[in-house]
A and B are shown apart, each in its own frame.
Chain A
Amino acid sequence: MSTDTTVEPAPAAPAPQREPQRSGLPSWAIQGLVSLSAIVLALLVGAILIIVGDDQVKTAVGYFGAAPMDTVSAAVSAVGEAYKALAVGALGGVTPITESLTQATPLICGGLAVSLAFRTGLFNIGAQGQLIVGAILAAYVGFAWDLPPVLHLVLAVIAGLIGGALWGGVVGVLKARTGAHEVIVTIMLNYVAIYLLQWLLTTSAFRRPGRTDPISPVVNSNAQYPQFGDTRLHLGFLVALLAAVFVWWLLNRSTIGFELRAVGANADASRTAGMSVGRAYIIAMVVAGALAGLAGTQQVLGTDLPLTDGVAASVGFDAITVALLGRGTPLGTVLAGLLFGALNAGGLQMQLITQTPLTLTTVLQAVIVLFVAAPALVRSIFPFLPKERGVGAVLAKGWNG
């Protein structure tokens, strides 16, 4: 590993100037390989952490001199058991699979919200805030109104979309009109959203009657996404997939999408070509906000989760890593969302069976993204990976190409 990195510079030195050698593989396949390698590496890092933290290994290390194989077998079994539990918890049967999909649902929508903005050259760090505002409106329509089935759900979802679109749209308008940097504005609006939510939960309009802690009523059953059988998986998952198809269509098949991508690739050139950059920013942020708002509806209308100050969990921030792993494409985002959902669901099971702390899955997710964001690092560890044209540059620019 280390020898590779030290050897690397010599042959690579002249390379940066020239076009790197291209393999016969299409670029999506190479990207997939890099992502896959990143996942393998992350699992290796995780394995080390499991071994270091394992009690049995510690005991066995104590008498390492006497029976070294004990340490090895304890380490192997610790890692094996933990990852087996992770896999079983994520994929081993109907309940685990549906649980993985349920966990993936808001991550996909949130990831799309970040991806779409990325493609327009905007870093939408505000999915969290947009999700919260979407969840607030959707939940309010859900529990305060009384409407027939179907209609109630549709209206609640629309309310969520509007909430998110509004919160995202503000950013777009500020960026387009005043040039305010979207990273700053979205981060600040995240705070506004969470404090707005905390305040609303102290008002009688939102707080559940009879409760003194900040929690809203559960939404009416009419306003909930129908669930599949007695699992927690709900219609919101299909909606998330449809949203991904929509984003694909928008980006790749529509005139607006072409403008968005053009602005993302080079705003100045787009302006010269007669496109309205400001309009593109506003459209991108409104749609991105609506997608995050959709993720918000999946939180409050999907599972019977009431509105609390923790309703967004860290979905809006995980969405950024999902979009990173998905490389800004709708399909990639869906796959990344599914992976993270599976890791979340499996992680809960892993801590239950082997008592491996839940934080390990967080570490895995973080390390995966770290390696994906640094393809050169992955390539130096796995030198056999084929070269790809300008991946690093594309990533750094936010997939503008």
Chain B
Amino acid sequence: MKKYVRGTAIVGVLTLAVAACGSKPTEENAGGSANKDFKACMVSDSGGFDDKSFNQTSYKGLQDAVKAKGLTEVKAESKSDNDYPTNMTAMVNAKCNVIVAVGFKLEDATEKAAKANTGIKFAIVDSAPDTAKVGEIPNLKPLLFNTAQTSFQAGYLAAAMSKTGKVGTFGGIKIPTVTIFMDGFAEGVKYYNTQKSKNVQVLGWDDAKQTGLFTNDFEDKAKGQTNAQNLITQGADIIFPVAGPAGLGGLQAAKASSGKVNAIWVDTDGCVSAAEYCSVLISSVQKGMDVAVQDAIESVVDNKFDNTQFTGTLENGGTSLAPFHEFDSKVPADVKTELDQIKADIVSGKITVASKAQPKAS
């Protein structure tokens, strides 16, 4: 119900605007209607567009592009894995000019649709076609993100901010797009330990063994809360949940500790997407899917589309550490300087992040 109301509230019901009585809404929407016939389309994965995380950020990219270029937006939410081929076909039939698929789960459906409809441009988040197997797909652009780099910073920040000497993390499902955050986080903590000769422990993820704590679910907040509570009981005072909406449970646990436990959020700036938890959020590892999606769509509008892989890095701003917001005064100035130095060192290659989950350069 909540989902329903919010979803509808966001949407500019364009088809309705045409059919319905009043023409006012159409005029209001028409900030720039230069490319009204251009249909920018998006298919979500089973998480839905209101996940405060992955799909939502990508959808923001679509909205931004629509606003900037005056396009027509069409979106299709998938309820389950079964819906991907159907939604993809529906988008093709709706005569979309560009179709953005959110998530590797849509890889099969997207590759198939892209091959069958060479006149339509496609982009897919978090997935790159295996060109050795499916061949070069000239109308499909992969959008990948090396979030291990930013998580490395987050790990360093967490280690520096921890009073108990223990920081914790947990994931949604053990897949590379999740463990990449946890790898980077653990490596960042280790880097802090070697730099400062400290011994801050990471609970919930062993990057050498690739084992750790998972909710096995991206939806269940109760599981996220339980996992966070486990970490807190073991002494962690900084939590790094990498579990989409389930991770919000971790923030609940942190908030309930009344100041003892804080957290770092992922994918989006948590102070914006989950503002009620801003008081416990030191920072967030931003994955710039909105910018990448917007760029991809606009490149199609401007006739500059190519199928080269986009890899978001610290260098190109495709991933970055969010502002500290309420923690701005609490994070020591030297830690801020060190974080900037780490960023510079990762960009220059002085620090290499080891995570195997990192996207391969194309």
A-side interface residues toward B, CB under 8 Å? Answer: 49, 52-56, 59-60, 70, 73-74, 77-78, 81, 95, 99, 103, 195, 198, 202, 210-215, 218, 232, 299, 303-306, 308-311, 313-314, 345, 348-349, 351-360, 362-363
Contact = CB atoms under 8 A, between A and B. Distances in A.
B8 A232 contact: no
A311 B81 contact: yes
B272 interface: no
Given A81-B15, A310-B81, A53 B105 contact: no
Given A77-B20, A81-B16, A195 B216 contact: yes
Given A52-B5, A355-B13, 9 more contacts: A53-B8, A73-B21, A77-B16, A213-B175, A214-B173, A352-B74, A354-B15, A357-B7, A357-B8
Nearest to B46: A310
B308 interface: no
A56 B82 contact: no
A99 B86 CA distance: 8
B275 interface: no
Q: Which of A55, A74, A99 has the most CB of B within 10 A?
A: A55
A287 to B, nearest CB: 25
Contact of B13 (A299, A314, A354, A362): A354
A346 to B, nearest CB: 11
B126 to A, nearest CB: 9
Nearest to B18: A81
Contacts, number: 140
A77 B21 contact: yes
Contact of A309 (B24, B93, B173): B173
B199 to A, nearest CB: 31
A218 B105 CA distance: 13
B4 A351 contact: no
A55 B20 contact: no
A160 B357 CA distance: 34
A103 B83 CA distance: 10
B325 interface: no
A232 B86 contact: yes
Contact of A49 (B4, B12, B20, B133): B4
A269 B69 CA distance: 74
Q: Top 10 nearest A-B pairs by Cβ distance?
A: A313-B80, A53-B8, A310-B81, A357-B7, A355-B11, A77-B20, A73-B21, A213-B175, A212-B176, A359-B4
Nearest to B22: A70
B9 interface: yes
Contacts of B85: 232, 303-305
A221 B308 CA distance: 31
Interface in B48-74: 74
Interface of B: 1, 3-5, 7-9, 11-17, 19-22, 24-25, 46, 74-77, 79-83, 85-87, 89-91, 93-94, 104-105, 108, 112, 130, 132-133, 173-177, 216, 357
Contact of A348 (B86, B105, B130): B86
Given A74-B22, A81-B19, A309-B173, A348 B7 contact: no
Nearest to A362: B79
A54 B4 contact: no
B175 A212 contact: yes
B176 A213 contact: yes
21 contacts: A49-B4, A54-B8, A55-B8, A56-B13, A56-B20, A70-B21, A73-B21, A81-B19, A103-B82, A210-B133, A212-B357, A214-B173, A303-B82, A303-B85, A305-B81, A310-B105, A348-B86, A352-B87, A355-B14, A355-B74, A358-B77
A364 B173 CA distance: 31
Contact of B82 (A74, A218, A299): A299
Contacts of A54: 8, 13, 16
A337 B173 CA distance: 32
B3 A357 contact: yes
Contacts of B8: 53-55, 355-357
A218 B109 CA distance: 12
Q: Which of B1, B3, B12, B13 has the most CB of A within 10 A?
A: B13
B179 to A, nearest CB: 9
A77 B21 CA distance: 8
Contacts of A60: 22
Q: Which of B11, B87, B93 has the most CB of A within 10 A?
A: B11
Given A53-B8, A305-B82, A353-B15, A213 B22 contact: no
Nearest to B356: A212
Contacts of B22: 56, 59-60, 70, 74
Q: Which of B83, B104, B112 has the most CB of A within 10 A?
A: B83
A43 B76 CA distance: 22
Contacts of B17: 56
A59 B105 CA distance: 38
